[in-house]
Amino acid sequence: MSRLATLLALLLALGLAACGDDDDDGDSASTTGGDSTAQAGTATGEDTGSGCPEVAQPPAKEEGGEEEPDGELDASATHEVTVQTSCGDFTITLDVESAPATTASFVALAEKGFYDDTFFHRIVPGFVIQGGDPTGTGAGGPGYSTLDEPASDAAYTKGVVAMAKAGNEPPGTSGSQFFVVTGEDAGLPPEYAIIGEVTDGMDVVERIGALGDPTEQPLQVITIEGMEVEES
């Protein structure tokens, strides 16, 4: 990796924060949802040219109040979560064996509607898209955290879905915030619990991934309308 690429990966890794525990000490993503407003002069529902219709930003929700699930998912079954966004749907096939506690939490929150009417608060072209914060500030979460330390050779390549965490938390700590890698290789250290990969709708992820500015703010609001969980 070149010196420039290494520096870029280090700087961007520092931004992959906000696990969302109630004990958050402020070492969270600096991205805030307040700047993710609809483009002026564009009516809601119209296509801005990005391939994604313009939508209103959902109001912030209160964080916390959720309880960590007791059990784990059946590792012998296939678990898929379809993320329904204002820009289209994409499907995550979960890796239960690699992150049993984290995948169980992700599915439980999805089935409760925790992610419904939230938005991607952080978009870094060529790197990641990040969502799952009910407050939209980059610092919110469910009120608890899980821990599944990733393997030492964990690779954050295109399509991988992992959980964000605060910089001072142990590797594999997760709340509700997740990110999808849009670059060929994010170059991140093995500190973020990997919950699976995008197996359908990567074109949707790439459209969303192009809608970020140099400060990692979304250029337009992309909402998560809901998540559908299937087991087979």
Closest to 214 measured CA to CA, from 140, 127, 137: 127
Give me the pLDDT at residue 49, please: 78
Q: What is the pLDDT of residues 40-50, one digit of tens each?
A: 334 456 666 78
- In the numeric block, the tokens 């359908």 are attached to 200
Q: What is the pLDDT of residues 181-232, one digit of tens each?
A: 999 999 999 999 999 999 999 999 999 999 999 999 999 999 999 999 999 9
- In the numeric block, the tokens 């696990």 are attached to 19
Output the pTM of the full model: 0.84
Least confident of 30-39, 71-80, 169-178: 30-39
Which amino acid belongs to residue 160? Answer: V
Q: What is the pLDDT of residues 54-96, one digit of tens each?
A: 999 999 999 999 999 999 999 999 999 999 999 999 999 999 9
Give me the pLDDT at residue 8, please: 44
pLDDT band at 166 (very low <50, low <70, confident <90, very high): very high
Which DSSP string corresponds to the chain?
--HHHHHHHHHHHHH------TT--S-S----GGG-PPPTT--TT-B-SSSSB--PPPPP---------SS---TTS-EEEEEEETTEEEEEEE-TTT-HHHHHHHHHHHHHTTTTTEE--EEETTTEEEE--TTSSSS---S--EE-PPPTT---BTTEEEE---TTSPTTEE-S-EEEE-SSB----S-S-EEEEEEE-HHHHHHHHT-B-TTS-BSS--EEEEEEEEE-
pLDDT at residue 31 above 50?
Answer: no
Give me the pLDDT at residue 67, please: 95
Give me the pLDDT at residue 29, please: 32
Backbone dihedral region of 55: left (phi > 0), alpha (psi from -120 to 50 degrees) or beta? beta
Tokens linked to 71: 């059990």
- In the numeric block, the tokens 């709708």 are attached to 201
Give me the pLDDT at residue 152, please: 97
Q: By the 8 A CB rule, do 26 and 147 touch?
A: no
HEC string of 53-94 equals ECCCCCCCCCCCCCCCCCCCCCCCCCEEEEEEECCEEEEEEE
